[in-house]
């Protein structure tokens, strides 16, 4: 046991979270397992539906490991989807090919009767089986990140029934009936705590909470539906697992990051593509790890422009608590060679 | 002439732009002419297509005046659409009912041959005929705002062929071939200068430049495709019409507003719903008018929550250079009584 602890603290990824700025910084990429990789597309074909893949520990572990084998990232993120939580709660999720998720929407408090936390065990269990396998199969030096969607973002899909440009249905419900909407957020907060706790027990070293639609909220709503539920999750995890770092990702909310850091008690903040480097420096100056924020479309373009921007980000974050990442997930059109070019560029930096 | 000047400087809307913070602040609402009004829906039926309405000076003036008659806003904004510019340049625009705009996309530099600034006269002329009529028909105390879409945002529609969630095609082109994409931006910048100059000549008192998709850009791209083209437009207008205020609206870019203000020379910044009030105060402290930023969905909800948030915004901006507005346009589901409630609340503030 002593040995495991000693070795795990050698993981490069964790150093910035212990206050140690390292050069080159740790690097991983959101959606590093995915359609841009031919080996992913091959495994995907074996799996049936997209959610079948998420619930298949053997295949989900395999696609998680693929980019680690290729690129040796410092961290690996569990292959899964943020909509596992509503699916496990009883609001069935399907993925229309090329069209994104579809759910039978819940738009008022009566619809919450369809959800039950007591039934989540089997589906959460399958995901955690993937985590256990990964903890065994990953190289010892690779950090394993578990994750969930933040309550606000998951709620937007549950209320809209799909992705949307402005999250209008969810925002409207929150204004019209804040007490009812709070019940939905509470259910999701509880479910997230259970789900993440199980992931940590199964072997996740770090947790990331994805709040992809945080940027559409007015600041008072951001406080209520993003900061407070995230703080509840972080504090619940911290009380049981004080040494597991938690990274928040309130996408589109660069102007509210100082407040997010203060209000949530997160250990790190993933910064989206539009977040200025000065804001990332401010995040790091607050004793929190800043992660980000290369534009995934620059990774598609490649070439010198990619190198130049990688260097700008590295220069701006040099000597600070920093993890190199994208500002959003890798897109399917990305050439795998460009990812190799990026990783090499980061690894060679001094 | 002396009289006209004297009276026009009495317009309440213009006072914050002369450095005078007034209470209650001026108020108008983005998309104040639109589908939430029964009289708009009636006029819309007479018009044929949506662009037919934009190009019909009599009907476009009528719908522009409708909310002024109902609510007596301090400013009126020309009823038109940001896609008039590509349409006039030769990239035909249609509006599929309930689905938004459709254009035959331009995705490489060869496609720019379809565009010609020399052919814009007739369509720009019809819009400016609306402006002339409005300047005659509006109450003398009502400020008339002309507008265009910012080059970046208009380009995203021209490249995608429609609205999109992440403006990926335009951002991708800009990375892949910045010189080619710059040609498109230059054409739009030139066309915007011509178009806005004609609007001012026809009677527009103030100009607003809508950059709805500014928020998807990394900061170096924001500088290149938002700040620099906007600065070119503002400076061209200022050299001929130094006393016509120009308001920028880089939506989703709250974390970059200080830079936007410095870099563009705008007189005012419209702030979106997610912009913190502290950032609006910072904008006003830089000698620029801050405009915004009530959530349009709160205007749908109405009730005490609406009053409370209106008061919060008014309190935060009290004594500063400020124009009350929404953070985005009025949505069709809005009850006209809620707009009356809002205007009354603002007008009664001290």
ipTM over 0.85: yes
Cβ distance B148 to B85 under 8 Å?
Answer: yes
Mean pLDDT throughout B55-63?
98
Contacts of A221 in chain B (CB under 8 A): 295
Q: How far is CA A295 from CA A29, A104, A281, A291, A330, in A?
A: 11, 33, 17, 13, 9
Task: For tokens 């496990």, name the residue.
Answer: A88
| CB spacing of A276 vs B295 below 8 angstroms | no
The b-or-e profile of A89-121 (16+ CB within 10 A means b, else e) is: bebebebeeeeebbbebbbeeebbeebeeeebe
| Confidence label for B315 from pLDDT (cuts 50, 70 and 90) | very high
Angle at Cα B91 formed by Cα B87 and Cα B94, nearest 5°?
A: 65
What strand order describes the sheet that includes B75-77? B75-77, B143-149, B206-211, B246-250, B268-270, B289-294, B322-326
Residue A276 touches partner B, C-beta closer than 8 Å: yes
Contacts of B334 in chain A (CB under 8 A): none
Mean pLDDT throughout B309-313?
98
pLDDT at A165: 86
Closest CA to A145 of A35, A245, A25, A3: A245
Minimal CA separation from A199 to chain B, in Å? 31
pLDDT over 70 for what percent of chain B? Answer: 97
CA gap B262, B315 in Å, rounded:
26
> Residues 283 to 312 of B: which have CB under 8 A from any A CB?
293, 295, 297-298, 300-301, 305, 309, 312
| Confidence label for B80 from pLDDT (cuts 50, 70 and 90) | very high
Asked whether residue B97 carries a pLDDT value surpassing 80, the answer given is no
Active site residue B35: yes
Cβ distance B88 to B81 under 8 Å?
Answer: no
Cβ distance A37 to A70 under 8 Å?
Answer: yes
| Residues in CB range of B99: below 8 A, 6 or more apart | none
Closest CA to A333 of A290, A307, A282, A297: A297
CA gap A192, A194 in Å, rounded:
5
CA gap B328, B273 in Å, rounded:
7
| CB spacing of A165 vs B165 below 8 angstroms | yes
pLDDT at B350: 83
Minimal CA separation from A257 to chain B, in Å? 10
pLDDT at A6: 46
The catalytically annotated residue of A74, A81, A87, A205 is A81
Which residue positions in chain A have pLDDT lower than 70? 1-9
Contacts of B255 in chain A (CB under 8 A): 254-255, 274-276, 279
At A341, which helix (H) or strand (E)? helix A336-348
Closest CB from B175, B220, B276 relative to A297:
B175
Asked whether residue B219 carries a pLDDT value surpassing 80, the answer given is yes
Mean pLDDT throughout B324-334?
98
Interface mutation vs chain A, best among B282, B297, B304, most A CBs within 10 Å? B297
Contacts of A311 in chain B (CB under 8 A): none
The catalytically annotated residue of B11, B12, B74, B81 is B81
- Tell me the β-bridge partners of B54: none
Minimal CA separation from B217 to chain A, in Å? 5
Closest CA to A85 of A119, A34, A113, A59: A119
Closest CA to A325 of A296, A282, A286, A284: A296
Minimal CA separation from A271 to chain B, in Å? 11
Asked whether residue B1 carries a pLDDT value surpassing 60, the answer given is no
Concatenated DSSP letters for B156-180? HHHHHSS--SS-HHHHHHHHH-HHH
Residue A246: what are its φ and ψ, rounded to 5°?
-120, 130
Minimal CA separation from A227 to chain B, in Å? 14
User: Does CATH place domain A2-348 in 3.30.1300.10?
Assistant: no
| CB spacing of A252 vs B176 below 8 angstroms | no
pLDDT at B4: 47
List the single residue in A with minimal CA-CA distance to B172: A297
Cβ distance A257 to A313 under 8 Å?
Answer: no
Q: Which pLDDT tens digit goes with each residue over A119-153?
A: 899 999 999 999 999 999 999 999 999 999 999 99
Residue B277 touches partner A, C-beta closer than 8 Å: yes
Asked whether residue B15 carries a pLDDT value surpassing 70, the answer given is yes
pLDDT at B98: 77
Q: Which two tokens stand for residue B350?
A: 């001290």
CA gap B89, A72 in Å, rounded:
50
Q: Which two tokens stand for residue B173?
A: 């082109």
Q: Is the dihedral of CA B73, B75, B80, B86 positive or negative?
A: negative
- Domains of chain A by residue range: 2-348
| Confidence label for B96 from pLDDT (cuts 50, 70 and 90) | confident
User: What's the predicted TM-score (pTM) here?
Assistant: 0.95
Residue A279 touches partner B, C-beta closer than 8 Å: yes
| CB spacing of B295 vs A171 below 8 angstroms | yes
Contacts of A163 in chain B (CB under 8 A): 165
Active site residue A114: no
| Confidence label for B118 from pLDDT (cuts 50, 70 and 90) | very high
pLDDT at A96: 80
pLDDT over 90 for what percent of chain B? Answer: 95
Asked whether residue B7 carries a pLDDT value surpassing 60, the answer given is no
| Confidence label for B293 from pLDDT (cuts 50, 70 and 90) | very high
Residue A165 touches partner B, C-beta closer than 8 Å: yes
Closest CB from A217, A309, A312 relative to B274:
A217
């Amino acid at each position: 046991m002593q040995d495991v602890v000693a070795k795990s603290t050698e993981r490069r990824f964790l150093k910035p979270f212990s206050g140690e700025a390292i050069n080159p910084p740790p690097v991983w990429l959101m959606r590093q397992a995915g359609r841009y990789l031919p080996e992913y597309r091959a495994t995907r074909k074996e799996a049936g539906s997209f959610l079948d893949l998420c619930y298949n520990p053997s295949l989900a572990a395999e696609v998680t490991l693929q980019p680690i084998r290729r690129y040796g990232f410092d961290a690996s993120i569990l292959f899964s989807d943020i909509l596992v939580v509503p699916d496990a709660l009883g609001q069935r999720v399907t993925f229309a090919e090329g069209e994104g998720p579809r759910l039978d929407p819940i738009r008022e408090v009566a619809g919450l009767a369809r959800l039950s936390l007591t039934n989540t065990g089997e589906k959460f269990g399958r995901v955690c089986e993937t985590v256990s396998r990964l903890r065994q199969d990953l190289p010892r030096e690779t950090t394993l990140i578990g994750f969930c969607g933040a309550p606000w973002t998951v709620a937007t899909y549950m209320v809209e029934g799909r992705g949307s440009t402005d999250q209008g249905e969810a925002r409207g419900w929150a204004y019209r009936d804040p007490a009812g909407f709070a019940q939905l957020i509470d259910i999701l907060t509880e479910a997230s705590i259970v789900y993440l706790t199980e992931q940590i027990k199964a072997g996740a070293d770090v947790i990331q909470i994805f709040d992809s639609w945080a940027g559409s909220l007015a600041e008072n709503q951001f406080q209520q539906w993003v900061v407070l539920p995230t703080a509840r999750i972080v504090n619940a995890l911290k009380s049981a697992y004080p040494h597991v770092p938690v990274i928040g990702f309130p996408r589109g909310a660069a102007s509210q990051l100082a407040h997010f850091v203060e209000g949530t008690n997160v250990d790190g903040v993933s910064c989206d593509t539009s977040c200025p480097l000065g804001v990332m420096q401010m995040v790091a100056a607050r004793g929190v790890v800043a992660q980000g924020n290369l534009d995934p479309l620059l990774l598609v373009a490649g070439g010198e422009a990619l190198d130049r921007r990688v260097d700008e980000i590295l220069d701006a974050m040099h000597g600070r608590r920093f993890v190199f990442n994208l500002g959003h997930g890798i897109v399917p059109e990305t050439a795998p060679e460009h990812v190799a070019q990026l990783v090499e560029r980061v690894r060679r930096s001094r």
